[in-house]
Amino acid sequence: MDPLGARSQFVDVQTLHSWDDAEEQDRDRVDAPLAGDSDARDDSLSGQQGAVRSPFPFRDDINRKVVLYIGNVALLNCTAIVNTSNELLSDKNPVSDSIHQLAGPELREELLKMKGCRTGEAKMTKGFNLAARFIIHTVGPKYKAKYRTAAESSLFSCYRNVLQIAREQAMASVALCVISTAKRGYPLEDATHIALRTVRRFLEKHGESLETIVFAVTLAEEPVYRKLMPLYFPRSLEEERSSLALIPPDIGNSEGEPVVPERQIRITEKPGSLEDDSEDEAFDSDLGLVGSHAFARMEGDVDKQRRLVLQGQMSEAAMQKQHQRNYSRWLGRARAEDLSDIAALKALYQTGVDLCGRTVMVVVGRNIPVTLIDMEKAMLYFIHVMDHIAAKDYVMVYFHTLTAEHNHLDTDFLKRLYDIVDVKYKKNLKAFYFVHPTFRSKVSTWFFSTFNVSGLKEKVHHVESLQQLFTCIQPEQIDIPPFVLEYDSQVNGPYRLPSSSGL
């Protein structure tokens, strides 16, 4: 707390000049069309023979949301600031050290509970003694030239996941430090291109969700940002035209994500076959794993085995092997596929442990836009996240709170997922807590667990309130979305600290 009458060391982002107001561009913009006058802009361009628009055209509305700030990100008074760290969230770098110093020891204690963060992911904590309400922690990639593509994709994920959290939490302003630290060896100019174009594309699609994005840089970083920002945030038609020739050939996709040509080529199992042979998909063994296919293991005629399965004549042991091969193929796909768009939904995540010490996994129903996403990728993401979790006892908490029709998972999808996953998922799932169920969801769950799957019905517990959930999982051991807390408080009243007793 600052002494009475003393000037605060913190800087309010509302007092900073937006990129659109940069003094050195005032004269260049005198003759530019008025902001929002799209007709004037079109007329100006159409009057030029052969004029080519930049992939990042002049947008005054976007420029007003962007700030270039030279200074310490930890001093900014905004909704959230970004901290760049390592996988253990314990990195010692100037940005992180400054944030920890000002936030106080409570931040370190909070980070210890998080059990780290993967490269490219982002996690949020409170701001504690900072002026910012929240801190979004992310881990940039280690750069090696021969793994450049992977590093670019990871750095994009850092910025994208930070912005996605800001959007999901309805934040008004977020301040981005330079995520690639000197320790990680990422070339500053290359990293700046990714940062700027990711933010630009995000504002094009979701600009209404954020009022201000601040690029907080040091004096050493400022020249690079000031040189490259006109490429992605031109402040006039003239600046757009002059910057066009300087834009790199690789500008990513519509999200700003690096495009990997190899990932866009898919080779079919039977080149030259035009029909969709779904039967082969169920049977085809993974030839990519040397020694794993039927011939290498001397398992005999796999076609014959498949026929026996269809005729109900295959032994239980052989069926289990067939199921395991099928799951291994799904797991291999899950590990190879880019699932960052599904991860950004924050619909499935690991939190603490229950009173019995079992891992708690959370599913947020409202964060699953069933009608808008690729549900097969959602299935792959579930397998990717859960494979190592399901190796030991675990419980799942499903928040059905405020889910709408477009959030409801189809019974056929759930049945297919249940049939695909390894036996360890079913064996080691000890409880499934269905929080804030509706009458309809209770009926659906009963039918599904009674007629579609075996062994699940006795594990399902309908939980009407968080107070009831806290008799199994302590409040500090589970990360609950704010809207769930607000809903439960309105419906069931504030919760009391529970005593340790079973549900």
Q: What is the CATH number of the domain that holds 67?
A: 3.40.220.10
The Cα–Cα gap between 146 and 46 comes to 44
User: Given this model, what pLDDT does residue 311 score?
Assistant: 52
User: Given this model, what pLDDT does residue 51 score?
Assistant: 57
- pLDDT at position 388 over 50: yes
User: Given this model, what pLDDT does residue 290 score?
Assistant: 41
User: Given this model, what pLDDT does residue 444 score?
Assistant: 81
What percent of the chain has pLDDT above 90?
A: 50
Residues 455 and 481 placed together within one structural domain of the fold: yes
The Cα–Cα gap between 459 and 243 comes to 61
Of the candidates 445, 483, 444, the residue with the CA atom closest to the CA atom of residue 461: 445
Residues 93 and 192 placed together within one structural domain of the fold: yes
Residue 398 maps to a domain: yes
- Which of 204, 229, 261 is at the close of a domain? 261
- pLDDT at position 97 over 60: yes
Residues 463 and 318 placed together within one structural domain of the fold: no
Q: List phi, psi (to 5°) of 403.
A: -75, 145
Residues 133 and 193 placed together within one structural domain of the fold: yes
The Cα–Cα gap between 329 and 311 comes to 24
Residues 387 and 366 placed together within one structural domain of the fold: yes
Residue 231 maps to a domain: yes
Of the candidates 67, 277, 95, the residue with the CA atom closest to the CA atom of residue 175: 67
Q: Output helix, strand, coil percentages for the chain, rounded to the nearest 5.
A: 45, 15, 40
Mean predicted confidence (pLDDT) in 416-439: 89
Residue 272 maps to a domain: no
Residue 273 maps to a domain: no
Residues 378 and 319 placed together within one structural domain of the fold: no
User: Given this model, what pLDDT does residue 315 score?
Assistant: 61
Tokens of 1: 């707390």
Residues 208 and 288 placed together within one structural domain of the fold: no
Give the containing element (helix H, strand E) for 444.
helix 439-447
User: Given this model, what pLDDT does residue 496 score?
Assistant: 61
Residue 80 maps to a domain: yes
The Cα–Cα gap between 162 and 176 comes to 9
User: Given this model, what pLDDT does residue 22 score?
Assistant: 61
- Residue 454's pLDDT band (cuts 50, 70, 90): low
Residues 187 and 294 placed together within one structural domain of the fold: no
Mean predicted confidence (pLDDT) in 234-247: 92
The Cα–Cα gap between 397 and 354 comes to 11
Mean predicted confidence (pLDDT) in 21-26: 54
- Residue 404's pLDDT band (cuts 50, 70, 90): confident
Contact 134, 126 (CB under 8 A): yes
How many domains does the chain contain in total?
3
CATH number reported for the structural domain that contains residue 460 in this entry: 3.40.525.10
Q: Best-predicted range by mean pLDDT among 101-105, 307-311, 475-479?
A: 101-105
Residue 223 maps to a domain: yes
Question: Is the four-CA dihedral 373, 379, 381, 382 of positive or negative sign?
Answer: positive
Strands (E), 372-418: 394-399
Residue 111 β-bridge partners: none
Residues 311 and 216 placed together within one structural domain of the fold: no
Residues 245 and 350 placed together within one structural domain of the fold: no
What percent of the chain has pLDDT above 70?
A: 77
Task: Give the model confidence (pLDDT) of 349-379 as tens digits.
Answer: 988 889 999 999 999 999 998 888 888 899 9
Classify residue 141 as exposed, middle or buried by CB count within 10 Å of its CB (0-12, 13-18, 19+): buried
Contact 395, 432 (CB under 8 A): yes
Classify residue 151 as exposed, middle or buried by CB count within 10 Å of its CB (0-12, 13-18, 19+): buried
46 or 95, which is more confident: 95
Mean predicted confidence (pLDDT) in 318-344: 82
Residues 411 and 435 placed together within one structural domain of the fold: yes
Residue 17 maps to a domain: no
Torsion of CA 32, 34, 38, 42, to 10 degrees: -20
Is this prediction's pTM over 0.75?
no
User: Given this model, what pLDDT does residue 196 score?
Assistant: 97
- Residue 30's pLDDT band (cuts 50, 70, 90): very low
Mean pLDDT of the chain: 81
Residue 270 maps to a domain: no
The 3-class secondary structure across 51-106, one letter per residue, is CCCCCCCCCHHHHCCEEEEECCHHHEECCEEEEEECCCCCCCCHHHHHHHHHHCHH
- Which of 336, 351, 374 is at the close of a domain? 336
- Which range (31-35, 193-197, 460-464) has the least confidence? 31-35
Which residue type sits at 201? R
DSSP class of 319: H
Task: Give the model confidence (pLDDT) of 274-320 as tens digits.
Answer: 444 444 443 343 333 344 444 444 444 555 555 555 555 556 677 67
User: Given this model, what pLDDT does residue 333 score?
Assistant: 86
- Residue 21's pLDDT band (cuts 50, 70, 90): confident
Task: Give the model confidence (pLDDT) of 156-214 as tens digits.
Answer: 999 999 999 999 999 999 999 999 877 888 999 999 999 999 999 999 999 898 999 99
- Which of 210, 230, 261 is at the close of a domain? 261
Residues 6+ apart with CB under 8 A from 299: 305, 321
Task: Give the model confidence (pLDDT) of 40-91 as tens digits.
Answer: 444 444 444 345 688 999 999 999 999 999 999 999 999 999 999 999 999 9
Q: Domain span at residue 146?
A: 60-261
Residues 209 and 235 placed together within one structural domain of the fold: yes
